């Protein structure tokens, strides 16, 4: 069954609020086996909303809207739908009483316009709202077999109504749709186009499962999606395709689904019974912060120093003054000395150091903005990686943190 999600509200088009309803509904509907093919956002304008709903009903089996069920004159979703379907509006007495009771129980005088929420299109199925005053609406077209469902806009009201009432309705009305299951291989170290080249034959020949590449904050995600009668069969299809593409990209895969780089690194440190300490200059503690985002990271992270000034690099980390004087704070020699010094200072299995120029100032002809050195000292010796990152100061710091975590991951894999 094809589903279209229609999000209503001018505030969405103005960027005043973030639409969290659409991703929630899309994820849940796909889990239930329904294909969400279209998503549309429309403001509180009768003519435009009517055109959007007409188009949606023409191309989808089920149209689910969110928003526009409130008490104000701008809440017009039900009225527009009723007009489109040539249905009159009437006062649903049960809903009216429930809304009145909602206010009475809270000892609040109910504004008269709240009864607008009890106005329903003729022949609609009214859906109780256990978290607010706006009932939901289900309208079935007996001629076409198509269905339009109106849900309230507040996310907590929408999610509760969907789980309690809409999911059972969809299962009863349309039966079991099978499942749609996805698995995401998270990669780092190869650009989107280069990664595509490695698995291009499988992308071109895809059917079920499907393959998609998604760029996400410096990472490239490879999403494998399968449709099947049940999850076991879907997983089997996914595993089969993954088995074909893994040999081509395995060295770049660091995690599955929600596994972050820092989580992957943490698992490796635990498995190898190693501890770490960090000396960070240009990233200002960002690498350490990401590592501590993982619960239980205290088992392997011993400490960190943000050695922003040269004096701190020398006195607290142990970088020789002559290295700073001759090679500079942003150099391979300084980075390696920082990694060795922080490892010795905290008596850890591994020391990591980051130094660079995040900009927009501080660059020279020989050392441009974006020049970064990442050094690691540990059982396999000292290694240093040079990078030239572009973007804003924040971009460079973010990319440096990702690179540092990935270099640490690769270092751990060879131990």
Work out the mean pLDDT of the chain and round it to a whole number.
96
Q: How confident is the model at residue 41 (pLDDT cuts 50, 70, 90)?
A: very high
For residues 29 and 26, what is the distance between their CA atoms, to the nearest angstrom? 5
Nearest to 202 by CA among 165, 240, 229, 147: 240
Q: Report the percentage of the chain scoring pLDDT > 90.
A: 96
**What is the spatial order of strands in the sheet that 219-228 belongs to?**
210-216, 219-228, 179-187, 253-256
The angle at the Cα of 88, spanning 136 to 134, to the nearest 5 degrees, equals 20
378 and 350 Cβ atoms separated by less than 8 Å: yes
Please give the helix or strand (H or E) that residue 323 lies within, else none.
helix 321-326
CATH of the domain at 378: 3.90.950.20
- Whether the per-residue pLDDT at 338 is higher than 90: the answer is yes
36 and 182 Cβ atoms separated by less than 8 Å: no
Write down which residue in 256, 273, 304 finishes a domain. Answer: 256
User: Can you tell me the mean pLDDT for 145-159?
Assistant: 97
Q: Is residue 184 located within the same domain as residue 248?
A: yes
Nearest to 63 by CA among 75, 76, 52: 52
Q: Measured between alpha carbons, how far is residue 241 from residues 198, 204, 230, 391 in Å?
A: 14, 13, 17, 36
For residues 303 and 155, what is the distance between their CA atoms, to the nearest angstrom? 40
Q: Is residue 37 located within the same domain as residue 154?
A: yes
User: Can you tell me the mean pLDDT for 232-261?
Assistant: 97
DSSP one-letter code for 317: I
- pLDDT for 71-122, tens place per residue? 999 899 999 999 999 999 999 999 999 999 999 988 999 998 999 999 999 9
CATH of the domain at 235: 3.30.70.2860
DSSP one-letter code for 109: P
Q: Measured between alpha carbons, how far is residue 219 from residues 125, 191, 192, 391 in Å?
A: 45, 8, 9, 16
CATH of the domain at 156: 3.40.980.10
The confidence score (pLDDT) of residue 260 equals 97
User: Can you tell me the mean pLDDT for 56-80?
Assistant: 96
Q: Is residue 293 located within the same domain as residue 206?
A: no
The angle at the Cα of 276, spanning 275 to 278, to the nearest 5 degrees, equals 165
Q: Is residue 190 located within the same domain as residue 150?
A: no
Q: Is residue 92 located within the same domain as residue 74?
A: yes
The confidence score (pLDDT) of residue 176 equals 82
- pLDDT for 281-332, tens place per residue? 999 999 999 999 999 999 999 999 999 999 999 999 999 999 999 999 999 9
Q: Is residue 22 located within the same domain as residue 165?
A: yes
Q: Is residue 168 located within the same domain as residue 25?
A: yes
Phi (first) and psi of residue 163, to 5 degrees: -70, -40
For residues 352 and 81, what is the distance between their CA atoms, to the nearest angstrom? 61
For residues 1 and 252, what is the distance between their CA atoms, to the nearest angstrom? 36
Q: Is residue 231 located within the same domain as residue 269?
A: no
Specify the 3-state DSSP secondary structure of 300: coil
> Which residue segment(s) compose the domain that 322 sits in?
261-413
Write down which residue in 217, 233, 256 finishes a domain. Answer: 256
User: Can you tell me the mean pLDDT for 368-390?
Assistant: 97
Phi (first) and psi of residue 82, to 5 degrees: -60, -40
Q: How confident is the model at residue 63 (pLDDT cuts 50, 70, 90)?
A: very high
The number of C-alpha atoms within 13 Å of 312 and in the hemisphere containing its C-beta is 11
Residue 317 buriedness (CB in 10 A; 0-12 / 13-18 / 19+): buried
Specify the 3-state DSSP secondary structure of 165: helix
Q: Is residue 184 located within the same domain as residue 136?
A: no
Q: Is residue 73 located within the same domain as residue 94?
A: yes
Q: Is residue 193 located within the same domain as residue 275?
A: no
Beta strands in 260-347 (DSSP E): 276-280, 301-306
CA-atom Rg of the chain in angstroms: 28
For residues 346 and 364, what is the distance between their CA atoms, to the nearest angstrom? 33
For residues 188 and 394, what is the distance between their CA atoms, to the nearest angstrom? 19
Q: Is residue 33 located within the same domain as residue 131?
A: yes
Residue count (the chain): 415
Q: How many domains does the chain have?
A: 3
User: Can you tell me the mean pLDDT for 350-361?
Assistant: 97
Write down which residue in 204, 235, 256 finishes a domain. Answer: 256
**C-alpha distance across the termini of the chain, in Å:** 51
- pLDDT for 204-218, tens place per residue? 999 999 999 999 989
Tell me the two tokens of residue 78: 């039900």
* Whole-prediction pTM: 0.82
For residues 141 and 246, what is the distance between their CA atoms, to the nearest angstrom? 47
- Please give the full DSSP string across 361-408, using - where no structure is assigned: S---SSS-TTEEEEEEEETTEEEEEEEE--S-HHHHHHHHHHHHHHHH
């Amino acid at each position: 069954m094809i589903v279209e999600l229609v999000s209503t509200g001018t505030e969405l088009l103005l960027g005043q609020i973030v639409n969290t309803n659409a991703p929630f509904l899309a994820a849940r509907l796909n889990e239930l086996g329904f294909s969400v093919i279209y998503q549309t956002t429309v403001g509180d304008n009768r003519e435009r909303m009517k055109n959007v709903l007409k188009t949606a009903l023409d191309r989808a089996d089920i149209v689910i809207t969110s928003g526009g069920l409130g008490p104000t004159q701008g809440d017009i979703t039900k009225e527009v739908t009723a007009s489109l379907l040539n249905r009159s509006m009437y006062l649903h007495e049960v809903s009216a009483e429930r809304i009145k009771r909602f206010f009475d129980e809270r000892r609040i005088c109910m504004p008269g316009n709240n009864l607008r929420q009890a106005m329903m299109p003729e022949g609609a199925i009214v859906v109780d709202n256990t978290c607010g005053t706006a009932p939901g609406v289900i309208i079935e077209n007996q001629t076409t077999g198509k269905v339009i469902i109106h849900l309230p806009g507040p996310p907590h009201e929408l999610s509760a109504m969907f789980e309690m009432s809409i999911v059972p309705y969809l299962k009863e009305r349309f039966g079991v749709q099978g499942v749609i299951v996805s698995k995401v291989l998270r990669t780092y170290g190869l650009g989107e186009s280069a990664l595509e080249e490695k698995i291009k034959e499988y992308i071109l020949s895809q059917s079920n499962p499907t393959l998609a590449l998604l760029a996400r904050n410096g990472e490239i995600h490879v999403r494998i999606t399968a449709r099947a009668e049940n999850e076991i069969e879907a997983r089997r299809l996914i595993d089969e395709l993954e088995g074909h593409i893994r040999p081509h990209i395995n060295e770049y895969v660091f995690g599955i689904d929600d596994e972050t780089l820092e989580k992957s690194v943490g698992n490796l440190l635990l498995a190898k019974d190693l501890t770490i300490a960090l000396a960070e200059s240009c990233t200002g503690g960002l690498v350490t912060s990401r590592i501590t985002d993982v619960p239980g990271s205290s088992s392997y992270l011993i400490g960190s120093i943000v050695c922003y000034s040269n004096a701190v690099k020398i006195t607290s980390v142990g970088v020789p003054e002559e290295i700073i004087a001759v090679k500079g704070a942003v150099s391979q020699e300084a980075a390696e000395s920082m990694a060795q010094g922080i490892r010795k200072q905290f008596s850890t299995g591994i020391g990591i150091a980051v130094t660079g120029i995040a900009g927009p100032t501080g660059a020279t002809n020989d050392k441009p903005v974006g020049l970064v050195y990442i050094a690691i000292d540990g059982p396999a010796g000292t290694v240093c990686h040079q990078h030239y990152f572009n973007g804003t100061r924040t971009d460079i710091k973010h990319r440096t943190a990702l690179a540092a975590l990935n270099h640490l991951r690769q270092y751990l894999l060879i131990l």
